[in-house]
Structure 1
């Protein structure tokens, strides 16, 4: 498998995603969100041995590390989200309001987990180890993060246009950048668990529940427990970029200590 195969996968997934979002542009968001399954589904077409890949993603060879880092993923989610809360409140960007109505609380669910797994299997279980074979861990994480960031751009363009979001360009840029940076903790968990899907999927799934519940949704531009400009206060906004940047730098330093 050559390095261009990794980049081809990222390019194909992002291109097909953009086409899907355009075709489904007038459909409900729940239909558009089905694109989250695409990276994982398409990875099966790129792997050499599907059975070996399936054993890898379920963590057959990394049971104990998968369990340990899955627990760490959940803790990390709370640390990152409430780090954004602390930053937003201290800077006057975020103000606490009444809790969001029950239907908007986005609880952790089987569907949410499966959608998160759809992304993580593609980006962290296939693309990242593919890149790690040819690049340093830091470069591999950066490239995978860029691919993951662009994966979100089409839907962000669509939603900011539909919802007439204030400062749409800023919102799209910071959301994309937050994905690039957050690929480092997601990828670090995957590396530590030998590329099983569990830790990074739990981080992704818990994040998709906790972040909108506390800080609102940058996608639908709706508030959570704290309100303020979504492009600033959200965990996938400027606050998220600021909070996750030192985490990403620490991960880069930590990975320098280990030979992969």
Structure 2
């Protein structure tokens, strides 16, 4: 497809320029507004900007419909991987942090503080974590229904069985399927993934290493305004590791998309990460406590430990892509069970 395009670099630069200009403007307004209900909603909509701009650019430059980003259900393997991958990171981070505490003798490096957690329905303490995760997993059923409707063409099949004069009802079914996706909060993480992975990564996925490399600095740049927020402002070491962790994580997200050929695994990983990482290790964005406290900016998944873990996976992936590119007649990416969206 790329060979038939007139200027892929121009398309990419246009997408990046518009996305960063709009999102940075909204981020500045968010920071100036403080953590009010209105400013939090502004941030959530800001996260949708890459997806909105990506869909617009795909149509303008390539006449591609929204389905081109890959809304089809990719199979249970990818679905559960997207949901559970943050738990795998946590299973490494917590023991590693306690190992450092043991070796250094610094009891303040990581502390167990379940008394600071408060969840829904009056739940407090450590029970907050499984309750929040189970509630979140239950809500992702709305995403699965949308993904399944695309893969098995529920709307089209129903429309074909209706009499001609009643086929307009299929639009109602489509709204019924997709409205809970928006009702699952503003689908901010999904909006980001439609842009960064479903658009930018997809445009360059014929060269996987390049696709991942392009998204690294731009995804970090997208988060750049947050280092000037009240909580993060002035903490140079924390800000550098925060942006580095975002950059190297982009490689993992890119691989999830390219290997599954679907937007859902990286979107699920993204929204699951945004729930589980701060719930366990505290939030670097607003300073809210997690199940573990102490040197949060070090052991947080968006701190030093995040850089190391995502970085190790990124190095392995780049080596994998390099070997695959050198091997004759090799398949660059594993095939997915998903059908084209």
TM over 0.5: yes
Cα contact 2:71–2:264 (8 A) shared by 1? yes
Q: 1:23 maps to what in 2? A: 29
- Rg comparison, structure with higher value: 2
Which residue is 1:154 aligned to? 225
Give the structure-2-normalised TM-score: 0.66
Q: Retained in 1: the 8 A contact 2:211–2:254?
A: no
Give the total of aligned pairs: 248
1:54 pairs with 2:67: yes
The aligned counterpart of 2:318 is: 252
Q: Any conservation in 2 of the 1:70–1:200 contact (CA below 8 Å)? A: no
Question: Structure 1 residues 66 and 118, CA, compared in 2 at 3 Å: closer, same or farther?
Answer: farther
How far residue 66 of structure 1 moved from its aligned partner, in angstroms, is 4.4
Ranges in structure 1 where 5+ consecutive residues have no aligned partner: none
- Which of 65, 68, 76 aligns to 1:67? It is 76
* Alignment match, 1:33: 44
Q: Residue 97 of structure 1 corresponds to which residue in structure 2?
A: 113
Structure 2 residue runs without a partner (length 5+): 102-108, 121-127, 140-182, 325-330, 334-341
Q: Secondary structure at the match of 1:217?
A: coil
The secondary structure found in structure 1 opposite 2:302 is coil
Q: CA shift at 1:197, angstroms?
A: 1.1
Query: Once the 2 structures are TM-superposed, how far is the Cα of residue 251 of structure 1 from its aligned partner?
Result: 1.8
1:152 offset after TM fit, Å? 0.7
Pick the aligned partner of 1:123 from 196, 206, 209.
196
Please tell me whether the aligned partners of residues 80 and 244 of structure 1 are also in contact (alpha carbons under 8 angstroms). no
Matched, 1:232 2:298: yes
SS in 2 for 1:46: helix
Q: How far apart are the structure 2 equivalents of 1:80 and 1:144?
A: 21
Which moved further from structure 2: 230-239 or 16-25?
Answer: 16-25
Residue 85 of structure 1 aligns with which residue?
94
Per-residue CA distance 1:144-165 (angstroms, 9 max, x = gap) = 02111110111231x2xx23x4
Change (3 A) 1:56 1:23: closer
Taking the aligned partners of 2:251 and 2:185, their CA distance within structure 1 comes to 21
Q: Using the TM superposition, give the Cα deviation of residue 112 of structure 1 relative to its aligned residue in structure 2, in angstroms.
A: 5.3
- Structure-1 residue corresponding to 2:124: none
